[in-house]
Chain A
Amino acid sequence: MTPALGWWGVPLAVLGGAVRVGTPFLFVSLGECITEKSGRINLGLEGILVMGAMTGYALSHATGNPWVGVLAAGGAGLALGLLHGILCTLPRVNDIAVGIALMLFGTGLAFFLGKPYVQPKAPTLPSIPFGFWSDSPQVQAALQVNPLFVFGFALALVLTWAFRTTRWGLVVRMAGDSSDAARAMGYRVGVVRTLATGLGGLFAGIGGSFLSLYYPGSWSEGLSSGQGLMAVALVIFAGWNPLQCFYAALLFGAAGALGPALQSVGITWGYYLFNAAPYVVTLGIMIVTCSPRRTLAGAPGELSINR
């Protein structure tokens, strides 16, 4: 940190970090939001995220084009999401348990297939320099925004609109709020939920490709620090609202960026505790807003965590 900015570097670094650290949170939370709106929980997004990171990196390395990697990561996520959706359509199969299985399966498969890609360097995604007007390198660094973040923001807006006004959004919400009503209207709840889970997996896979293709920008087995698991908590935190998922992802990203930012100005105390802040906040919010007698405001009625 140069003396020119000093302490002002901290909020700036947190802002830049919020965007950088928050982007994978944004994608997994939007994916989980779609899945949960349809009435299922996918705890396996962690596995999908890691699998997406590996696939994206491998394909970017093979083709030399990082955007192919992003698409492939989405495809891998879609496949795993559909697997979750189809398994849960079987009678008496529990969605939470399948999610845990998918988490283990996805990470294991990604570690297995990704072994040859730990060393080689793959082309990564470019960034958009929103800080071009400033002379200060810190400002420029903080405003280096990745294109996936912009895409994720647009996605949050589109999803908010789609859930509110489109037929497709209404059907997903109906499957999530009352499967009986959806069935009475002639929709096949299992199919709706399977597709919603697949779409959720697609977004989570793209979120994974961000990890390996932008920040940190390489593939290793310790790449994910549980962002996929956090998705479930984040969606609860955001009240099942895609736009609030965006703000929540930024907030979680900022909390994650606080530790390193403080470290850069010499405060090393409590590094891990700051990292745990999002978990504590989520737990606190769940404790305050939950009640044994009513469900959470905005929660889809069919969700197994509400029963």
Chain B
Amino acid sequence: MRREALAIPLGALIAAMLLFGLFMAALGQNPLEVYALIYRGAFASAFSWQNTLARAAPLVLTALCVALPAQAGLMIIGGEGALVTGGLTAAVVGHALAGAAPLAAQLTMALAAMAVGAAWIALAGALRHWRGVNETISSLLLTYIAIAIFNHLVEGPLKDPASLNKPSTAPLPDAMMIGRLPGLDVHWGLGFGVVFATLMYVLVRHTTWGFALRIVGGNARAARIAGLPVGAYVLLACALGGAAAGLAGMVEVAAVHGSANASIIAGYGYGGILIAFIARQNPLAVLPVSVLVGGIAASGGMLQRRLDLPDATVLVLQGVAFVTILASEALYGRLRIFQSPAIRAERA
């Protein structure tokens, strides 16, 4: 039921805010002041909106890396690995294409990053389908392997000799940096995220393909009996999710950092897991939730400056929210006010 799907996560978020407020009060802070500052740091001015949206952009894409495989019944938590490999690919391809027409080069970078990210997550899906290897753990291991390869290449063969203190790949030419959305002072990554999420929503909820995908996720055996190629659906869902996370890596490289370095390993992959769960794996709901989580992350600096709270404060709030959201799963179908009158009458 739709009302329930909206009310329960909202209620869980409010419960998280209450718990976090108690925690703040126990430490001698005024919870209302903390929340007012979070609001100011996240949504009160044009500047804070820019900050929020710039953080939300990669989160939308990494959340899709959780939400899309989830449609096929897989729990992938390795979006960080796809982001890292995608970002590295984009930096290498962009450097190799220096001098080419910027738009063509950007397009190639994006496609290459998406392809590598897709392959990275599809590997976890393939191992699950053909070898029975648990995809949650394999995707996590693949993330560590991706980060090791990334560090090896960025601090070794691909290192730009000019980057002394912070090993990086050679910087992209300025012309190849992706610009800002017209009217908004936010880079195009946000646009990519909105388009990707919307397309995926339509694909999953309003096409036959998406319907079949959800059958595979709901009951793989029933899907097989109905003659659906389960393996192909699993692989494609993983590949689409990986492509999203790979694109997030490209955006971080080509819109924010200008080269591939350790800064792109910022935990966006793990933030995406949180968002996908709050959004209940709905690709469209990922958008507002990403803005919310991005806003909370963006307000960390404000809390640090004004109240002298550690920058990890927002991590605590995110953690509490994640826990209450998961605990609220137990409430679905149990709250009387959301039950249809017929069921209520029957139970009475």
Task: Give A contacts to B, CB under 8 Å.
Answer: 43, 83, 87, 90-94, 96-98, 100-109, 111-112, 115, 221, 226, 229, 232-233, 236, 269-273, 275-276, 279-280, 282-283, 286-287, 290-293, 305-306
| A112 adjacent to B145 (CB under 8 Å) | no
Residues on A with beta carbons closer than 8 Å to the beta carbon of B270: 100, 103-104
CB < 8 Å: which of A90, A232, A269, A291 contacts B131? A291
- Tell me, rounded to whole Å, the shortest Cβ–Cβ distance linking A196 to chain B: 20
Residues on A with beta carbons closer than 8 Å to the beta carbon of B318: 104, 108
Q: Is B299 on the interface with A (CB-CB < 8 A)? A: no
Interface bracket on B:
35 or more
Residues on B with beta carbons closer than 8 Å to the beta carbon of A92: 329-330, 332
- Tell me, rounded to whole Å, the shortest Cβ–Cβ distance linking B35 to chain A: 17
Beyond A98-B323, A112-B310, A283-B141: 7 further Cβ-contacts under 8 Å? A87-B326, A93-B330, A102-B319, A107-B315, A115-B312, A236-B137, A273-B148
Majority DSSP secondary structure for residues of A touching B: helix
| B137 adjacent to A286 (CB under 8 Å) | yes
Name which residue of chain B comes closest to A306, CB basis: B134
- Tell me, rounded to whole Å, the shortest Cβ–Cβ distance linking A185 to chain B: 26
Q: Is B229 on the interface with A (CB-CB < 8 A)? A: no
| A280 adjacent to B145 (CB under 8 Å) | yes
Q: Would you list the 5 A-B pairs with minimal beta carbon distance, nearest first?
A: A105-B319, A108-B315, A276-B148, A111-B312, A101-B322
CB < 8 Å: which of B134, B145, B312, B315 contacts A279? B145
Task: Give B contacts to A, CB under 8 Å.
Answer: 75, 77, 127, 129-134, 136-138, 140-142, 144-145, 147-149, 151-152, 155-156, 270, 273-274, 277, 309-316, 318-320, 322-323, 325-327, 329-330, 332
CB < 8 Å: which of B141, B155, B309, B319 contacts A106? B319
| Distance in angstroms between the alpha carbons of A293 and B129 in the assembled complex | 11
Residues on B with beta carbons closer than 8 Å to the beta carbon of A90: 327, 329-330
- Tell me, rounded to whole Å, the shortest Cβ–Cβ distance linking A23 to chain B: 20
| A112 adjacent to B132 (CB under 8 Å) | no
- Tell me, rounded to whole Å, the shortest Cβ–Cβ distance linking B315 to chain A: 3
Residues on A with beta carbons closer than 8 Å to the beta carbon of B309: 112
Contact A96 to B75, CB < 8 A, known contacts A104-B315, A276-B148: yes
| Distance in angstroms between the alpha carbons of A276 and B142 in the assembled complex | 10
| B141 adjacent to A279 (CB under 8 Å) | yes
CB < 8 Å: which of A103, A108, A272 contacts B151? A272
CB < 8 Å: which of A43, A105, A269, A279 contacts B320? A105
| B316 adjacent to A93 (CB under 8 Å) | no
| Distance in angstroms between the alpha carbons of A226 and B312 in the assembled complex | 18
Q: Can you list 28 residue pairs at the A/B interface with Cβ under 8 Å?
A: A83-B323, A92-B330, A94-B329, A100-B274, A101-B277, A101-B326, A102-B319, A104-B270, A105-B322, A108-B319, A109-B315, A109-B319, A112-B313, A229-B140, A229-B144, A233-B140, A272-B149, A272-B152, A272-B155, A273-B152, A276-B149, A279-B144, A279-B148, A286-B131, A286-B134, A290-B132, A305-B137, A306-B134
